[in-house]
Amino acid sequence: MLTFVPFRRSFKEAMTQDTRAGLAVFGWMTAILAFCQQGRLIAGSISWSAQKLFQTSVSTNLQLTRDKNGIQLQMGQVIEDDGPAAGYSYRPNVTTLAQGTRIKKQLVIADQRARRAFLLVAPGGRLEAEINGQPCRLKLQGKSGNYWQVYPIQPGTLRRGFNDIVLFGSGKIWIARNDDFATGSDSRRQHPDRSAKSIDGGKTWNSSDLGDAPNVDGEYYVRLFLEQYASKGDLITSVIDVGNLTDQPIAPAVEEIDTIRVRLNADVPDETAIMTRFRTAKVHAHGHNGWSPWRTLPSDGTIRQPTGRFLQLAITLATENRLVSPHLRAITIESTTKRPKADWWKRIRVLRCQNPPIIRSAIPFPYEPWNHPRLQELRKTYRLDDVVGGSDSDFALVTKLARWAADRFHKGHLQEFYPAWDALEILRLHRDGTPVGGFCLQQNLVLLQACESFGLYGRVVSIGPGEEIHRIRSGHEAVEIWSNDHRKWVYIDANTGWYFADQATKTPLSLLELRQRQIQAWHGKDAPPTQMVRLAASKYEWRGFKDWPAFFELRLVPRSNFLQKKTPLPLNQGMRGWFWTGYYVWSDDSMPARPLYPKRVFRPGDFNWTLHHPHVTLVATPTPGRLRVYLDTQTPAFDTFMVKKDNQPFRPSKAFFDWQLKTGTNHMTVAVRNGAGRLGAESVFVMEY
């Protein structure tokens, strides 16, 4: 993943130099390729809409405008400090409000300006409030999910910096215990000590004895959601070949890049800015670090004599007023390149090009090493090689492991303790002779880690009804496994013993695809016919998208290396609600994420990134018949590329090499091998020269 380095100039200076002088409004342009009058200088130009730019780039704190015609700063900020330890605790963590009892929560706000503001309390009751010393009438708007009460408040009651929120009346307030904080965060391992309790009507306060039980220290479940823009958002484009802006299967040879010009079509109100940086390289291949340093784009948008033909842009949107955002509407890139006189590559006819792009996510996601000793012990102890024997594909292997995992459990022992996210611990026998684990998360963790032991990768995604709890009252812990056969994430469930597939194509479906189909069904629209594929006997039946399970809310745990690193994790996930602020939660206009979650995902590529396949860039060289091949991938535990030419067998390959074409038909197949020796999906080229 690329790291964004912020600018060091003042906001006003950046706005003046980078935005005012550098922005130019361009209408829509189609890609063109035209000869210049002198020599072999070739001018090329392409324009990307905001929607295409957003979908093909990696971004943080940005989203598309509702009309899809602009990129803006993310709307909606969550202010909280209970998130790392919010969940189900096996120890006392409740305060009961009664006559004379008050609780105080202090929340820190960087900028209080907001269109609307909401106070969230869990689980709540009949509450009254004072905010910053002023009485605040609370009128319950409703619940967020099954646990959090939501109250609209006036933004004017808030202030920049520390805000004191005092609650009283009747009801209960949960406490995120200080001794649970280290479970949910690496950076917030101790509570900030911003909660206090009074039993004498607010005359005196105690910040270390918050609960009904003695000596409960932590933070109350009290949050704010402000309808305001993020202060800053970053976008990094995919790699752009300025010598091939029309994105032909074979890029023309280039002797020299003369100039590159970048123009932004944007609205930049007062107190906002858009700043652009660039870097260039001669080589675009996996593991190659020949990029130039990031540099500020000149005010006229022109890059002269760049390092090479490959370009990447980093664009920052920023605001000093949280009520206003800049809008990036489109971007135009022009280049002038010098080409060899002989354009031999035009004699190539591409007969087949199977070469999907690599989709990258802004979500940092560490994977469990496939050769972790606990994984290999799991594989050996439970003879998983025998379980998957005879599998003719990776997906067949996964379905056999799902069937095996579904048969491991009869009941759990969660009333006593919560086992580690470790399949061997989950399967360890209790004194009654049954596994200690036994509900959906643990069954699916066993499936996940069984797959990982074979070099197949997956992730935990908690699913539920979100704000639609009145429709489907449910929550469920699921996993998705990356399918090399289908080049996608696939939901497959060891708890229910099923997966879902498109009825027409028989292609297994992801959770995001199931969510889209369920929303269509609830809105009375015809969803594509979907079938449930049964893998194992189960008490669960599927009666269609208007019944359990609910796919409306998707909460991704942003790592799978639970054996390598014990924290951070949501506190005893699945035992009560989903309150952790470390989730990445899908959100869109059809069903926005609940106001509990600060990390919301708007771009499909951020949720459904790709793994374990190559992307091939073919560039003609000045030498007739010779192509330069650049290989890239996003593969956990990457070992090597494997390349097969014509009728030769697969051989290990470097990330870039020359391919000398012969007269006639030429074949090349590229795959990626990971450390477990497993080959991913293939990219295939067939061309006639």
List, for residues 608-645, the tens digit of each pLDDT value: 999 999 999 999 999 999 999 999 999 999 999 999 99
Q: What integer pLDDT is reported at residue 353 of this predicted model? A: 97
| pTM (2 d.p.) | 0.92
Residue 356: other Cβ atoms inside 10 A:
12
To the nearest 10 degrees (0 to 180), the angle between helices 394-406 and 440-452 is: 140
Q: Which residue has the tokens 């391992």?
A: 189
- State the average pLDDT for the chain: 92
Q: How far apart are alpha carbons 576 and 309 in whole angstroms? A: 53
Say whether the peptide bond before residue 604 is cis (omega within 30 degrees of 0).
no
**Burial class of residue 207, CB neighbours in 10 A (0-12, 13-18, 19+):** middle
The pLDDT of residue 470: 83
* Chain-centroid distance, C-alpha 379: 29
CA–CA separation, 634 and 505 (whole Å): 27
SS3 content of the chain, % helix, strand, coil (to 5): 15, 35, 50
List the single range of 206-215, 299-308, 425-434 with lowest mean pLDDT.
425-434
Q: Name every residue whose Cβ is closer than 8 Å to that of residue 432 and which is 6 or more positions away in sequence.
A: none
Q: How high is the pLDDT of residue 21?
A: 37
As given in the structure block, the two tokens for residue 186 are: 């690496």
Higher pLDDT, 277 or 409: 277
Looking at residue 435, its pLDDT comes to: 80
CA 23 to chain centre: 30
* C-alpha to C-alpha distances, 86 to 26, 96, 122, nearest whole angstrom: 48, 18, 10
Query: What's the pLDDT score for residue 410?
Result: 67
Cβ-based burial of 161 (10 A; exposed 0-12, middle 13-18, buried ≥19): exposed
Q: Read off the pLDDT band of 472 (50, 70, 90).
A: confident
At 560, list the tokens.
Answer: 């799978």
Range scoring the smallest mean pLDDT among 228-232, 414-418, 563-567: 414-418
Residue 417: what pLDDT? Answer: 83
Q: Return the sign of the alpha-carbon dihedral for residues 417, 420, 424, 426.
A: positive
Report which DSSP code applies to 378.
Answer: H
Q: How many other β-carbons are positioned within 10 Å of the β-carbon of residue 477?
A: 23
Specify the pLDDT at position 301.
Answer: 96
Could you list the beta-strand ranges (E) of 132-201: 134-136, 142-144, 148-153, 161-177, 195-198
Confidence class of residue 15 from pLDDT cuts 50, 70 and 90? very low
Tell me the mean pLDDT in the region 534-549: 93
Of the candidates 652, 642, 592, the one whose C-alpha atom is nearest the C-alpha of residue 612 is 642
Which positions ≥6 away from 539 have C-beta within 8 Å? Answer: none
Residue whose C-alpha is closest to residue 71's, from 80, 61, 81, 84? 61
Q: How confident is the model at residue 432 (pLDDT cuts 50, 70, 90)?
A: confident
Residue pair 264/6 in contact by the 8 Å Cβ criterion = no
Does 28 score more than 90 pLDDT?
Answer: no
Q: Is residue 448 over pLDDT 90?
A: yes
Lowest mean pLDDT among 348-352, 429-433, 463-467, 651-655: 429-433
Q: How far is CA 117 from CA 146, 233, 357, 588, in A?
A: 20, 22, 41, 20
CA atoms of 165 and 156, how far apart (whole Å): 14
Mean pLDDT computed over 100-111: 97
- Residue 34: predicted pLDDT: 42
Count of CB atoms situated within 10 Å of the CB of 303: 21
**What's the one-letter identity of residue 182?**
A
Distance from C-alpha of 303 to C-alpha of 309, rounded to nearest angstrom: 12
The amino acid at residue 466 is: G
- Local structure of residue 265 (DSSP, 8 states): E
Which of helix, strand or coil describes residue 605? helix
The answer to whether 233 touches 74, Cβ cutoff 8 Å, is: yes
Taking only the tens place, the pLDDT of each residue in 165-220 is 999 999 999 999 999 999 999 999 999 999 999 999 999 999 999 999 999 999 99
Domains of the chain, start order: 11-74+231-341 (2.60.120), 91-227 (2.60.120), 373-607 (3.10.620), 614-688 (2.60.40.10)
Amino acid letter at 498?
W
Given this model, what pLDDT does residue 6 score?
35
Q: What mean pLDDT is predicted for residues 4-9?
A: 35
Share of the chain above pLDDT 70, in %: 94
**Residue in 263, 370, 381 with CA at minimum distance from that of residue 313:** 263
d(CA 617, CA 624): 18
Q: Which of the pair, 51 or 468, is modelled with greater confidence?
A: 51
- Give pLDDT, residue 462: 97
